[in-house]
A = this chain, B = another copy of it.
């Protein structure tokens, strides 16, 4: 009714899996209610877990941030490993899908020994500790990238491992300190840990040029699809080749997108479950290419704040 009152015919919704589902439902509702709306979903999620599209805007930049940060912190550890910290643990986002964690694996080709803990691979403490111990013995140090969604075979998250705060409440979040303390207890190595949280997904200052370019292209395509009369669809990135990276902008039906999560394929993860394969590297590498720096003023980046002025209401107040 709000759409009708304001004579709105296009509905663009920007987001991940849940948003795609909402957008799909809006298009279904509009049919049921007999008021035609063209609902177009514009993909965007750092988790990179939408199906059909090659990747989701936001992911390439997070992947770049994680790869760059893992590289830098690992060099820091390496420089001190002889006398101090031997293990660095970085916790990253991506509750069910390990795409962001996978980006940490890109530093391997820069000589960094790295262990990745994916949500897709059930956590095996014994194997994990053996792997860390082997790398520290060989290289003098190692880096662990742990997904917040990493869990035991029974589905319990590492971050929920019975840790209690001073008030007796279960402490929320924090797979990194759990993993770090596990290593300290079993192997005795001095550690440091970081939790990237919002820093990773808000890090526009180190955005991938490829990612920013695709975000604009998909937004433009969404408008074009609407003008051409499409409904209940999502523009997609269709990869044509890895190197050089070639793609075209395509289209998917929302019924095939809504509520479908795309996880890391098993052949993107090494056999032992702790690393990424060359196939995965070929997938990730083009997505972090190029630097799209923001403008700076007085040392800080200049970001736009939308005014978001609402139009005047045309309907009487109502409750949902």
**Are B289 and A198 closer than 8 Å at their CB atoms?**
no
Residue A314 interfacial (CB < 8 Å):
no
Interface residues of A in 207-240 (CB under 8 A from B): 208
**Interface digits, A175-200 against B, CB 8 Å rule (1 contact, 0 not)?**
01110110011000000111111110
- Total identical chains: 2
Residue A102 interfacial (CB < 8 Å):
no
The interface stretch among A1-9, A161-169, A249-257, A267-275 is A161-169
Residue A51 interfacial (CB < 8 Å):
no
Q: Name A206's contact: one of B162, B184, B206 (CB within 8 Å).
A: B206
Q: Name A198's contact: one of B73, B288, B299 (CB within 8 Å).
A: B73
Q: Which residue of B lies closest to A296 (CB)?
A: B291
Q: Name A197's contact: one of B193, B205, B288 (CB within 8 Å).
A: B193
Q: For A77, what are the chain B residues with a Cβ–Cβ distance below 8 Å?
A: 198
Residue A202 interfacial (CB < 8 Å):
yes
**Are B73 and A202 closer than 8 Å at their CB atoms?**
yes
The interface stretch among A20-28, A36-44, A61-69, A131-139 is A61-69
Closest CB-CB distance, A286 to chain B, in whole Å?
Answer: 8
Residue A293 interfacial (CB < 8 Å):
yes
Q: Which residue of B lies closest to A198 (CB)?
A: B73
Closest CB-CB distance, A205 to chain B, in whole Å?
Answer: 5
Closest CB-CB distance, A88 to chain B, in whole Å?
Answer: 6
Q: Which residue of B lies closest to A306 (CB)?
A: B79
Q: Contacts A88-B198, A206-B205, A289-B298 given; indicate if A174 touches B177 (C-beta within 8 A).
A: yes
Would you give 27 A-B contacts (Cβ < 8 Å), ordered by A? A69-B199, A71-B300, A71-B301, A72-B198, A72-B202, A72-B205, A73-B198, A73-B199, A77-B198, A106-B300, A162-B166, A163-B165, A163-B166, A164-B164, A165-B181, A166-B178, A169-B185, A171-B181, A173-B193, A174-B177, A192-B197, A193-B197, A194-B199, A208-B299, A285-B299, A288-B300, A293-B293
Q: List residues of A whose CB falls within 8 A of some B CB.
A: 64, 67-69, 71-73, 75-77, 88, 90, 106-107, 110-111, 161-167, 169, 171-174, 176-178, 180-181, 184-185, 192-199, 201-206, 208, 285, 288-291, 293, 296, 298-301, 303, 305
